[in-house]
Amino acid sequence: MLEAEGGRGRLVRGDNRRALAELSYDLTERVTLAYLDPPFLTGRAHEAIVKTGTRARDRPGPLKAREKKFAFDDRWSSRAEYLESIGQRLVLIKELLAPHGSVVVHVDPKTSHYVKVLGDEIFGEDCFASEIIWRYRRWPSKTPNFQRVHDVLLRWRKDAKTKPRFNVPYEPLAASTLATWGTNKQRAVFEKDGRRARSSTTEEATKGVPMGDVWEIGVIAPVSRERTGYPSQKPEALLERLILALSDEGEIVLDPYAGSGTTLAVAARLGRTFVGIDQSEVALGIATARLEAAGVRFSAARATSGPTNGAPKASIARSA
Ligand SMILES: C[S@@+](CC[C@H](N)C(=O)[O-])C[C@H]1O[C@@H](n2cnc3c(N)ncnc32)[C@H](O)[C@@H]1O
């Protein structure tokens, strides 16, 4: 395990089922947001394209040499095995979530309906909070079908009876609303019989409308500085929106499928305490470098096993 100085977070290398069980020693009911971006049941192994750091002088093409490295395996004997694996992690994560916390599982339309049923079984239907559609634009593929241009993010709250952490995000007003009402806040007006009348405007500037559950956010461009070469890397803008809405500064954000460390880097930048787990050496190498570039300093590595004498091993400070 790598521990960040100043209690800013930690990175654990290994299978997340074991690591999540071990984190229960000191993180039970302390995590405000858990974001899971597991492999998507693609049936193949995925490679990262990493810079080796040396110039490829002898060859034309890019100045920096790049090589492909095995990143992670996404081959399963069956869908049932895949779902069982996700379910085992969700059960452990439920224990780590604070009563006001929530979990977001990022999947694609091939599996989202199965994962929705699984999550409802584990958290309870009344804890299901939202299905967010992340809509993106990408190069069209040749297919006798509508282009697949969205992922699905399923969110459950830990406890339906506790007010969840939710900082309302806003999105811009529709062009037609702006044309009719301008940029001032509208006030809903009701007739005596309770029917809606024409709204009026106030002096106050509008923040926009409370964010809906369909998000249009661009994928990472091939030439973007954000791109790490890790397969399935998610855009920082997506994680920023989730983290700002679903956690406060100083709270703990967990990503047990950390990959290139997108969640962790954004969480650190936004003053949250990050906890990342991944079993891929390549992933953790990229995530560590990314966090260090964002100003996080790591102290010496240490073993990941749980406490031996009842004392918690990890040291994320408890808030007063
Ligand atoms: C889709 S990628 C995550 C990408 C990440 N969100 C990003 O933006 O870079 C899934 C990651 O889960 C990791 N993973 C898969 N199964 C795991 C397991 N059982 N334990 C720990 N990590 C696992 C893989 O190594 C891979 O890095």
pLDDT digit of tens for each residue in the chain (320 aa)? 999 999 999 999 999 999 999 999 999 999 999 999 999 999 999 999 988 765 555 555 555 678 999 999 999 999 999 999 999 999 999 999 999 999 999 999 999 999 999 999 999 999 999 999 999 999 999 999 999 999 999 999 999 999 999 999 999 888 888 888 778 887 878 888 888 877 777 878 888 899 999 999 999 998 899 999 999 999 999 999 999 999 999 999 999 999 999 999 999 999 999 999 999 999 999 999 999 999 999 986 655 444 433 333 445 665 44
Confirm or reject: Cβ of 230 under 6 Å from ligand 1: yes
Q: Ligand 1, atom 12: nearest CA belongs to which residue?
A: 257
Among residues 232, 239, 320, 312, which one has the least CA distance to residue 10? 312
Q: Is 111 within a domain?
A: yes
Distance (Å) from CA 200 to ligand 1 centroid? 50
Task: State whether the beta carbon of 278 lies less than 6 angstroms from ligand 1.
Answer: yes
CB burial of residue 43 (10 Å; 0-12, 13-18, 19+): exposed
* 219: CB partners within 8 A, 6+ apart: 136, 137, 138, 235
Q: Quote the ligand 1 centre to 196 CA distance (angstroms).
A: 49
Pocket test of ligand 1: the residue of 86, 278, 304 to mutate, having most ligand atoms within 8 Å of its CB, is: 278
CA dihedral sign, ordered 195, 201, 204, 208: positive
Which one of 228, 242, 257, 266 would you pick to mutate in the ligand 1 pocket, going by the greatest count of ligand atoms within 8 A of its CB? 257
pLDDT, position 302? 55
Instruction: Note whether 259 and 182 are same-domain residues.
Output: no
Query: 210, 232, 264: which is the final residue of a domain?
Result: 210
Residue 82 Cβ inside 6 Å of ligand 1? The answer reads no
Are residues 36 and 148 located together in one domain of the fold? Answer: yes
Q: Do residue 266 and residue 136 come from a single domain? A: yes
Looking only at the bridges linking them, the beta strands covering 214-216 and 128-135 are parallel
The answer to whether residue 312 sits within a structural domain is no
Kindly state whether residues 67 and 88 are assigned to the same domain: yes
Instruction: Specify the residue with its C-alpha closest to ligand 1, atom 3.
Output: 259
Question: Does some domain include residue 305?
Answer: no
- Considering the domain architecture, whether residues 187 and 252 belong to the same structural domain is answered as no
Q: Among 210, 239, 261, give the residue marking a domain's end.
A: 210
Can you tell me the distance from the alpha carbon of 36 to that of 253, in angstroms, rounded to the nearest whole number?
A: 11
Asked whether residue 234 is domain-assigned, the answer is yes
Residue 161 in domain: yes
Atom of ligand 1 nearest to the CA of 16: 20
CB of 39 within 6 A of ligand 1: the answer is: yes
What's the pLDDT score for residue 71? 95
Burial letters for 272-307: b for 16+ Cβ neighbours within 10 Å, e otherwise?
bbbbbbbbbebbbbbbbebbeeeebebeeeeebebe
Specify whether the CB–CB gap between 23 and 95 falls below 8 A.
no
Please tell me whether residues 66 and 201 are part of one structural domain.
no
Same domain assignment for residues 225 and 204: no
Task: Identify whether 299 is part of a domain.
Answer: no
Contacts of 18 (CB under 8 A, 6+ apart): none
Instruction: Confirm if 185 and 201 have CB atoms less than 8 A apart.
Output: yes
Dist. CA 38 → ligand 1 center (Å)? 6
Give residue 101 CA to ligand 1 midpoint distance, Å: 22
283 lines ligand 1 (CB under 6 A): yes
Does the CB atom of residue 3 touch ligand 1 within 6 A?
no
Say whether both 59 and 188 belong to one domain: no
Is residue 187 situated within a structural domain?
Answer: yes
| Domain shared by 201 and 216, yes or no | no
pLDDT, position 169: 95
So what's the pLDDT on residue 318?
A: 58
Is 317 inside any structural domain?
no
How do the residues of the chain divide into helix, strand and coil, expressed in percent and rounded to 5?
25, 30, 40
* Among candidate residues 210, 239, 265, the one where a domain is terminated: 210
148 and 191, same structural domain? no
Domain count, the chain: 2
Please state, in angstroms and as integers, the Cα–Cα distance from residue 120 to each residue in 115, 129, 155, following that order: 8, 10, 10
- Specify the pTM: 0.90
Pocket flag, ligand 1, residue 236 (CB < 6 Å): no
Instruction: CATH number of the domain at 77, please.
Output: 3.40.50.150
Same domain (yes/no): 272, 127: yes
For residue 38, give the nearest of 245, 219, 213, 232 by alpha carbon: 232
Domain span at 196: 171-210
Given this model, what pLDDT does residue 297 score?
96
Are both 257 and 141 inside the same structural domain?
yes
